[in-house]
Structure 1
Amino acid sequence: MDRLDDQLHKLHHDGLLILTNVADAVGARLVEQLGNKAVATSSAAVAWVHGYPDGNTLPLERLVSTVESIARVISVPLTVDIEAGYSDDLARVAEVVDAVIAAGAVGINIEDGAAPPELLVHKIEIARQVADRRNVNLFINARTDVYLRSLVPAEDRVAETLGRAALYQAAGANGLFAAGVTSEYEIAALCRGTTLPLNVLGVPGLPSLQELQTLGVRRLSAGSGIAEFLYGAMAALAKNFLQTGKLDSHDLKAFTYGEVNALLKPPGKA
């Protein structure tokens, strides 16, 4: 049997790896039983369940406790979304990566956000050094927010994403997460333009599973979408129970990412 870290690498070269991102150990165990070949956390969902908004605010000890609890109950590879490393200080990023590996992760997501891509290059280099010291073949999935944050004009998105992909691959990344891309043409161009396995986010307008595989996509993530629906459903159930004393599951709908995140922002802050 291959080690879990080697398994995670192989899963990115064997069809389409579908990850229904989770927030806790129960969710992780559930999706494993449903057939997920690996388990991935949602950084937003993990932050929310601990009472923090998404956006590099979750204390490291809360993240580590979550990773430890998930790793304890599953037998498949675990990859953890560490946002932007929870810091721009490289020593702190190294501490975060080391801690999640020690807790049981064999993969990470790390993102560039609105920062210059060179910063993520340095973070990836640090993550690779930390993993090598721990003798873990860490799968580093580099997320670029070119699409999610509209960092460049629409006609430049493919070229900008591929330029960043080359930088991140040279730094030690193993995968490219182009979160927010939905166009078949752009997905195909990204798959052709890099040798990194392409990860896309399950958002409205995305091609079907079969089409994604044909285009060359190797990883599909739910992101925070499942958590958003669960909180929306909780609100509807709670409201109905307060009004009627009964649990009525009709007319359930998801909250948006913004609605959930806003619940946890301190009063008076935008």
Structure 2
Amino acid sequence: MADAADLKTLADKLRELHSGEMLVLPNAWDAASAKVVADAGFPAVATASAAISAMLGWPDGEGAPWQEMFAAAARIARAVPVPVTVDAEAGYGLQPRELVDRLLETGAVGCNLEDTDHKAGGLSDAQAHAQWLADVRSAADDAGIPLVINARVDTFLPPSGIPEDQRVAEAIRRGRLYREAGADCIYPIGVRQKDDLATLVAEIPAPINGNSSDQLDLPTLRAMGVARVTYGPRFYRAALADLKTAIEPLRN
């Protein structure tokens, strides 16, 4: 495990970044991309599980062994001097103490934890997931590192099975539960409508992680009070598209 004092300093810094100017995190997928992000002046690095699993040759949605995912995270954390937060999907079936220990061993000081049950399909039971998050928080407290938990709420994703007209209300219910359980930030992934996101920002008493889109550009998100913006695998996919464009002429 990395030095505990250094990890605590990085974790405190990451938490502070959620309460000031809107935190923008272009997601990285390996040490090289993480270094690009840090060298560009971004104060923290977030990983994207979909990008990392694809890079490693596995499907998204916990298709990759956690050992490989965390090994990639460790390479990223070693490459940059800023706090790193890891997309840990739904926790890979690890018990809270082991999950926290394995995360801290990578040098990461934050994590995304989503409420999709990848084995059963659909969403996890909200109360049970909240208790699991509380146990993760307790394990981090016992380790002496204030791990920054970004609790992802998946009600807006089609596999959730939540009817469209109930997604906002269910996201609010889950977001409040997860905040009470000890989550530092709530991430309602997949929100595309400005009014929906504005309601979530107003009704969930926590920093909110949003995604940018045509309707939700950075100035709009900032004006709405969104605390954190992430991009998932967007830049990884753009890099592959650029590679494809660059090599196509070589066939001739």
Q: Distance in 1 between matches of 2:57 and 2:99?
A: 19
**Cα distance in 1 for residues equivalent to 2:237 and 2:223:** 29
- Tell which structure's C-alpha radius of gyration is larger: 1
1:3 aligned counterpart, secondary structure: helix
CA contact (8 A) 2:90 2:115 kept: yes
**Residue 196 of structure 1: which of 206, 210, 214 is its match?**
206
Q: Tell me if the contact between 2:48 and 2:232 (Cα under 8 Å) persists in the aligned partners.
A: yes
Output the CA distance in 1 between the equivalents of 2:86 and 2:214.
26
**Equivalents in 1 of 2:105, 2:210: separation in Å?**
27
TM-score (norm 1): 0.83
Q: Indicate the residue corresponding to 1:126 in structure 2.
A: 135
Residue 169 (structure 2) aligned to one of 159, 162, 181: 159
Number of residues of Structure 1 aligned to a counterpart in Structure 2: 239
> Which secondary structure state, in structure 1, belongs to the residue aligned with residue 226 of structure 2?
coil
TM-score (norm 2): 0.88
Structure 2 alignment gaps of length 5 or more: 1-5, 117-121
Partner SS, residue 190 of structure 2: coil
- RMSD of aligned Cα (Å): 1.8
Is 1:234 the counterpart of 2:243? The answer is yes
What residue in structure 2 maps to residue 95 of structure 1? 98
Inter-partner Cα distance in structure 1 for 2:215 and 2:157: 14
CA separation in 2, counterparts of 1:122 and 1:30?
Answer: 37
After superposition, residues 32-111 of structure 1 pair within 5 angstroms as: 32-87=38-93, 91=95, 93-111=96-114
Q: Distance in 2 between matches of 1:170 and 1:117?
A: 12
Runs of 4+ in 1 over 6 A off after TM superposition: none
- Structure 1 residue runs of 5 or longer lacking an equivalent are 245-270
Q: Distance in 2 between matches of 1:205 and 1:158?
A: 20
- Taking only the aligned residue pairs, the percentage that are identical comes to 34
Following superposition, the deviation at residue 230 of structure 1 comes to 1.7
Q: 2-side partners of 1:205 and 1:118: how far apart? A: 34
C-alpha separation between the residues in 2 aligned to 1:119 and 1:40?
Answer: 26
